[in-house]
Amino acid sequence: MASDKVQSISDDAFKATISSSTPCLVDFWAPWCGPCKAIGPVVEDLAEEYQGKVTILKMNVDDNPVTPGQFGIRAIPTLILFKNGEIVDQITGAVGKNQLVDLIKKAL
């Protein structure tokens, strides 16, 4: 479900990718998850709006169980914002665009 603006990420590439000084917003999702599908277009919009400022990634929790387990993710969608490999903040559930913009602004 990734696009040209939103990259898919795997367990293998996760640590190296989020260690960047560029903020990374990771959307933990699954194809069968209704709320994940609902928030998908919002995540796409944000990827376009913040291109070059924030890296926006999607991780399929069914295909990549290790990373969600490390972060104690129990519900999806969960979006976690990282900067320099550290968690800045996170949101769980299909939230509105304004809440995600507020989340992103914490790392800019």
Q: Is 36 a catalytic residue?
A: yes
For tokens 């968690």, the residue is: 87
Q: Is 24 a catalytic residue?
A: no
Q: Which two tokens stand for residue 14?
A: 């996760």
Residue 26, CB-side half-sphere exposure with 13 Å CA sphere = 28
Identified catalytic residue from 6, 9, 24, 33: 33
Identified catalytic residue from 9, 24, 36, 79: 36
Cβ atoms of 82 and 26 within 8 Å: the answer is yes
Catalytic residue list:
33, 36
